[in-house]
A and B are shown apart, each in its own frame.
Chain A
Amino acid sequence: MDFAISPEQKEIQELALKFARNEMIPVAQEMDEHGTFPMDIFKKAWELGLCNTCIPVEYGGTGFTSLDGVIISEALAYGCMGMNTSFMANDLALLPIVIGGTDEQKKKFLTPFTQEFRIASFCLTEPGNGSDAGGLKTTLKDGGDHWILNGEKMWITNAGYAHLFVVYATVDVNLKHKGICAIVVDPKTAGIVLGKKEDKMGHRSSDTRSVRFNNVKVPKENMLGGVGEGWSIAMKTLDHSRPLVASSALGGAWRALDLSINYAKERVQFGVTISKHQAVQFMIAEMAMKVEASRLLVYKAAWMCDQHVKNTEVASYAKAFAADSCMQITTDAVQIYGGYGYSKEYPVEKLMRDAKLIQIYEGTSQIQRLVIAREVLK
């Protein structure tokens, strides 16, 4: 058993951390405040090979493992969880193509992402279907030589800037999971209407919108897998993407820990730095423990993906534990900073707002527990 990351992974991590420190942290607060989409930073990250890590070498990608991917995402989330959501959304949208696409589809849809800077969106959630994703209402009707797509998707990350959507829709609502299909849609197709940018509590620099499809024509050859295979593609995507999303919580928690340590060593109360007060020490010890435990779970869940071992259960451990820990750790970071922590002039309140979303998206902490219970009680 080896708990160390490889020298190569260490280098990748150092590059991503350097990028986070130099490019993301200095502007994160301002972009959060104004809800600015991190277009230039996203593009720069892409140029350095920090994005779309899931694309295999055969299609022009870097061929990184899932573990490489979470190491990068953890470091970028250290810079800003909100911006990292935008970066990650690309992988989330491209993964169904990697998992369920034919060779031809992969060449057509993945390779352009390696040749020029492009943005993608994963469209699963609907206004009435969040946790119950299988009960989706967006429909696909056979239009002869094409499909006709109708319905509305909600909370779609990157929607306003996307060059590609992967949309989940059903050929028959009554078929439930068995009717669900995954299909690649060009966002410029007639009949697609984007909602306004959502004004969110956190992750404010990431672009989140509703997407409405009104009789949108989609080429037949854009379907990933066959009719009814969408659900299984979505579930396999989640096995890959949950460690990734968990790594974002891990990165945010790590940042909150680092900031808390630095602040506790500077802030003086009762004649000594607050790091000398046991009450603060205990909070920091708890944070450090949870960051390390999250990291072990996240890396293991990603490593299992790379070993082609079914990781559904561990991916849910990682997602729930890292997200809940991140919430606790960022909340305690605000506590350690005291009144300053509650002010927008200091970086920790943003971390606390950003942490909340990770307990919600990509399967809530409660859904993760349902998944875990289902697996362990089998």
Chain B
Amino acid sequence: MNIFVCVKQVPDTETKVTPNADGSFIETSSIKWIMNPYDEFAVEQALLIKQANPAANVTVVRVGSVKDTEALRTAMAMGADDGILVEAGDNLDSFSIAKALKGAIDKSGKSADLVFAGKQAIDDDCLQVPQILAQMLNLPSVAVVVGFELTGSTVKAKREVEGGALEVYEVATPCVIACNKGLNTPRYASLPGIMKAKKKPLAQHSLADVGVSDADRRVKYSGFRLPPEKPAGKKFDATDAAKQRDVVAQVVGLLRTEAKII
């Protein structure tokens, strides 16, 4: 059984994000990268399947810059068998990333029985890649999955919907599963695991190698900027009963003309 797990490297949640000079992306030079937390659930689910089926092979795939390969190394230290890195900029759009992931999976020569991904990346929060990838692979997909059972070639996946209700899907493998928090408890990479990960095969491709070009870009980012700083609040003194009428009129006026919320 071949299991692919798509992982993304995102800025550590404690990072103070600043836009880069031309506003095309965030400044990445001093960022500490981590594996996208939702992808950890995806890796863990693949490893749980591997535990139950020792013959299963878990491959982690990542599209992104080569500066740091934290996410792939972590996944392999957790227990994934091998990794594929498609070298690319960190600000690709969802379509290009999905196409690159598909290209990398095709290029591996292994036919995917299961593809896992996090339901979204915590940096751009697009929630698109798993679904686009499934479409490109022509596979069924279930997203925001919090329960997963594999029996033979049937997957029973539970997904969360509004109001805390669960939808239960039965899907035949191969399929794409986008994982949510609550699906499992991701394991730590153990120290022996970290040591072993260094010897695990890591294939490296360019975007061209996996058939992706600039023409595939559907979204171009421009004008990254920080949200405007919150202006200081205004205080109105209405302790004097005689002035209350005027104060209320003033507040309502400002809410209408300045804050424009009524």
Chain A residues with CB under 8 Å of chain B are 8, 11-12, 15, 18-19, 47-50, 62, 64
B191 at the interface (CB under 8 A from A): yes
Q: How far is the CB of A308 from chain B (nearest CB, A)?
A: 23
Q: How far is the CB of B198 from chain A (nearest CB, A)?
A: 8
Residues in B whose Cβ lies below 8 Å from that of A11: 73, 77, 194
A50 to B189, CA, bound (A): 11
* CB atoms of A15 and B188 under 8 A apart: yes
Residues in B whose Cβ lies below 8 Å from that of A62: 191-192, 195
A337 to B196, CA, bound (A): 44
A15 to B189, CA, bound (A): 7
Residues in B whose Cβ lies below 8 Å from that of A49: 190-192
Residues in A whose Cβ lies below 8 Å from that of B194: 8, 11-12, 15
Contact of B190 among A8, A47, A64 (CB under 8 A): A47
Q: How far is the CB of B80 from chain A (nearest CB, A)?
A: 15
A12 to B189, CA, bound (A): 10
Closest 9 CB pairs of A and B: A49-B191, A48-B190, A49-B190, A11-B194, A49-B192, A48-B188, A62-B191, A15-B189, A12-B191
List 21 interface pairs A-B (beta carbons < 8 Å), by A numbering. Answer: A8-B195, A11-B73, A11-B77, A12-B191, A12-B194, A15-B189, A15-B190, A15-B191, A15-B194, A18-B188, A47-B190, A48-B190, A48-B191, A49-B190, A49-B191, A49-B192, A50-B191, A62-B191, A62-B192, A62-B195, A64-B191
Residues in A whose Cβ lies below 8 Å from that of B73: 11
> In the complex, given contacts A49-B190, A49-B192, what are 7 additional A-B residue pairs having Cβ atoms less than 8 angstroms apart?
A8-B195, A12-B194, A15-B194, A47-B190, A49-B191, A62-B192, A64-B191
Residues in A whose Cβ lies below 8 Å from that of B195: 8, 62
Chain B residues with CB under 8 Å of chain A are 73, 77, 188-192, 194-195, 198
Residues in A whose Cβ lies below 8 Å from that of B192: 49, 62
Which partner residue on chain B sits nearest A23 by CB separation? B188
Residues in A whose Cβ lies below 8 Å from that of B77: 11
Which partner residue on chain B sits nearest A49 by CB separation? B191
Give the number of residue pairs across the A-B interface with Cβ within 8 Å. 27
Which partner residue on chain A sits nearest B32 by CB separation? A14
Give the residue among B77, B192, B195, B198 with the most A Cβ atoms within 10 A: B195
Residues in B whose Cβ lies below 8 Å from that of A12: 191, 194
Which partner residue on chain B sits nearest A68 by CB separation? B191
A62 to B192, CA, bound (A): 7
Residues in A whose Cβ lies below 8 Å from that of B188: 15, 18-19, 48
Give the residue among A11, A12, A47 with the most B Cβ atoms within 10 A: A11
A8 to B188, CA, bound (A): 16
A154 to B38, CA, bound (A): 49
Which partner residue on chain B sits nearest A18 by CB separation? B188
Residues in B whose Cβ lies below 8 Å from that of A15: 188-191, 194
A64 to B194, CA, bound (A): 13
A49 to B188, CA, bound (A): 11
A48 to B189, CA, bound (A): 7
A50 to B190, CA, bound (A): 8
A106 to B188, CA, bound (A): 29
Q: How far is the CB of A352 from chain B (nearest CB, A)?
A: 26
A64 to B188, CA, bound (A): 19
Which partner residue on chain B sits nearest A53 by CB separation? B191
Q: How far is the CB of A255 from chain B (nearest CB, A)?
A: 15
Residues in A whose Cβ lies below 8 Å from that of B189: 15
A204 to B198, CA, bound (A): 39
Give the residue among A19, A47, A49, A62 with the most B Cβ atoms within 10 A: A49
Q: How far is the CB of A105 from chain B (nearest CB, A)?
A: 24
Residues in B whose Cβ lies below 8 Å from that of A64: 191
Which partner residue on chain A sits nearest B34 by CB separation? A14
Q: How far is the CB of B181 from chain A (nearest CB, A)?
A: 14
Which partner residue on chain A sits nearest B73 by CB separation? A11
Q: How far is the CB of A9 from chain B (nearest CB, A)?
A: 10
Residues in B whose Cβ lies below 8 Å from that of A8: 194-195, 198
A8 to B192, CA, bound (A): 12
A48 to B191, CA, bound (A): 6
Q: How far is the CB of A14 from chain B (nearest CB, A)?
A: 9
Q: How far is the CB of B201 from chain A (nearest CB, A)?
A: 18
A47 to B190, CA, bound (A): 7
Residues in B whose Cβ lies below 8 Å from that of A50: 191
Which partner residue on chain A sits nearest B77 by CB separation? A11
Q: How far is the CB of A108 from chain B (nearest CB, A)?
A: 23
Give the residue among B188, B190, B195 with the most A Cβ atoms within 10 A: B188
Give the residue among A12, A18, A48, A62 with the most B Cβ atoms within 10 A: A48
Residues in B whose Cβ lies below 8 Å from that of A48: 188, 190-191
Which partner residue on chain B sits nearest A19 by CB separation? B188
A8 to B193, CA, bound (A): 12
Q: How far is the CB of B143 from chain A (nearest CB, A)?
A: 27
Q: How far is the CB of B37 from chain A (nearest CB, A)?
A: 12
Which partner residue on chain B sits nearest A63 by CB separation? B195
A67 to B192, CA, bound (A): 17
Q: How far is the CB of A155 from chain B (nearest CB, A)?
A: 30
A19 to B191, CA, bound (A): 12
Residues in A whose Cβ lies below 8 Å from that of B190: 15, 47-49
A294 to B189, CA, bound (A): 29
Give the residue among B73, B191, B195, B198 with the most A Cβ atoms within 10 A: B191
A101 to B43, CA, bound (A): 42
A19 to B195, CA, bound (A): 17
A19 to B190, CA, bound (A): 10
